[in-house]
Amino acid sequence: MTPPLDDGAGFGRAAEDAAELARLANLDPLAYEREREAAATRLGVRVGALDKLVEPLRPKPEAEARGVSLGKVEPWPEPVPAGLLLDALARTIRKHVILPASAADAVALWIAHTWVAERFQHTPRLIIGSPAKRCGKSTLLDVLRATCRRPLKADNISASGVFRTVEALREEGGLTLLVDEADSFVGDNEELRGILNSGFERSGEVVRVVELKGEFVPVRFATFCPVALAGIGKLPDTLADRGVPITLQRKAAAETVTKLRAPGARDALHKAARCLARWAADRMDHLHLDPAVPDAMGDREGDISIPLLSIADDAGADWPARARRALLDVFGLRNRAEGNAEAGALLLADIRLLFQGMSATRLPSADIVARLAEMEERPWPEWKAGKPITPPQLASALAPFGVRPTTIRPPAGNPVKGYYREAFEDAWTRYLPPPPPSAV
């Protein structure tokens, strides 16, 4: 039997057949439906066979034509010592971006974790912030894009864009999502924040009702993947609480950085990615799931740190101690920038001291804020815009702990707004360690 589209008439007939297939592929669906039977007869093929020949030749929609394709990295041909790799990666980061050594160490560990994220229950977000423009956020994101596993950069993305992309690419090996300008659209998008928060845990997924074969059915979409978010100022607390905070600084006059366009810069980053690919292939299954977490870290900070500490412990040399110092430092930087990440707990502790020191059972709000303003080593004297904390701000800070002002009657004078000691007892028990015996 003569093969379809080749009746022995030579290349002339083949060219004519190819031109006819191209013409049919460019028809709109209705026009093609009207012509397909006659065209199949002219070409000497079955209608079903013609459909299969035409379909691959149809013009692709723009979205499909520009679809996401994440490049592959060829692993380095020889085993790579993790300690030396992390050393080089941290140096390279500081070569291109102005940030403290501890922050560079944390970023190097985070980059490495993107190559082994599926090993762990949590994937910490990398929260890249700066107080103003031109501090190097875009440069750092370029470094991440060159060194992270299967990076995908998005200057804007919807909630559905996140979970559909994660789901679509996870069978191919997942991705690392890099989001720039996050301050401009993430904060006001509650659904997007929820999706990004969900992807912090391996079990993260969302359910959406979609149409399949004419029926609407619930479908689960995975959300778990490493994410870096860059923006100016502060990102929403729920995202920050799941991330490693990195604060960039604007380059001073005496400081220098190497542009990524400099000769050899991109090659060095590509080599780092190849070395990371080889290290991950060799060591992922050996990474411990329960590294020692510093006591100073809270539960959430501990969850954030586990993948990074595990990588550091596996690297050995000075990296176990170096990683713990770096993480405590960057978390501490965030704490100080926010007045203290546990500002509420610090406030509870200081108020407990006030009640104990005055042997009081009730205190007016005005008295509490006046005494807090005298604590020079605390954030209260310059709580907002350089001014002391006020009674309304005090009430706002205490509300999450279930402590609210009420009307109290001082020993002398008229009723005023304030707090009874008993209102704090539950919060003190939940959020503070027991007071030392001398303070009771």
Q: Read off the pLDDT band of 189 (50, 70, 90).
A: confident
Does residue 336 register a pLDDT over 60? no
- Which has more confidence, 54 or 224? 224
**CATH 2.40.30 given to domain 82-337:** no
The predicted-structure confidence for 386-411, as pLDDT tens digits, reads as follows: 789 999 999 988 887 788 999 998 77
Q: Which of 177-191, 325-339, 363-377 has the highest mean pLDDT?
A: 363-377
- Which has more confidence, 340 or 205? 205
Average pLDDT estimate for 362-378: 91
| Amino acid symbol at 8 | G
pLDDT, position 436: 63
Q: Which of 155-164, 254-263, 271-280 has the highest mean pLDDT?
A: 271-280
- Which has more confidence, 130 or 331? 331
Does residue 420 register a pLDDT over 70? yes
How does the average pLDDT of the chain come out, rounded?
Answer: 84
The predicted-structure confidence for 83-118, as pLDDT tens digits, reads as follows: 999 999 999 999 999 888 999 999 999 999 999 999
Does residue 66 register a pLDDT over 60? no
Question: Percent of the chain beyond pLDDT 90?
Answer: 43
Q: Could you state, in order of their start, the residue ranges of all structural domains in the chain? A: 11-59, 82-337, 343-439
pLDDT, position 435: 72
pLDDT, position 1: 35
- Which has more confidence, 63 or 246? 246
The predicted-structure confidence for 209-228, as pLDDT tens digits, reads as follows: 887 777 888 989 999 999 99
pLDDT, position 97: 92
